[in-house]
Copies of this chain bind each other. A is one copy, B any other.
Amino acid sequence: MPAAIEEATNVLKTNNYKITKQRLAMLNYLVEEASKKYVEVTKLDAYMRESFPKMSHNTIYRNISEFEDLGIVEKQANGDHQSVKFQCDFKNEHHHHFICNNCGKVIELDDCPLSEEIVAQLPGCKISGHLFQIYGLCQECQNLTNN
């Protein structure tokens, strides 16, 4: 069993969630397909139901939601679609991403742009979070579209 999946199942166990075939199948897919890029939830749903025809939307969506609560998965609303990414480390380290518009690939950035000068522009505001993402085409996808 890959380390990432073992980590994830430990998180589940620790939080009194049971390890089921369906959850393992979803984790497998996420580790394979969504470790370095965001995958649309609808694609995950379609894939799971193709591979395991009896699996229900119910199971898929509820588990994704639980994975999110546990920090196993990161969810974001990009355009009209919800996408998820497997959280390789569960340390919840603060980081930002470049995201390829074509393939969804993610590149982590070193810096966080939330400087003190910016905070100073928001007197009286209680800041609870922020979002910083860069969009574009990764090198591979540029090559593809040039052909």
Q: Which of A's residues lie within 8 Å of B, judged by CB?
A: 77-80, 82, 98, 100-101, 107, 109-111, 113-115, 117-118, 121-139, 142
Copies in the complex: 2
Among A110, A115, A117, A121, the most chain B Cβ lie within 10 Å of the Cβ of A121
> Is the Cβ of A117 less than 8 Å from the Cβ of B111?
yes
Q: Give the complex CA separation of A137 and B125 in angstroms.
A: 6
Chain B, residue nearest A108 (CB): B121
Contacts of A77 in B (CB 8 A): 77-80
Chain B, residue nearest A79 (CB): B77
> Is the Cβ of A126 less than 8 Å from the Cβ of B122?
no
Chain B, residue nearest A134 (CB): B130
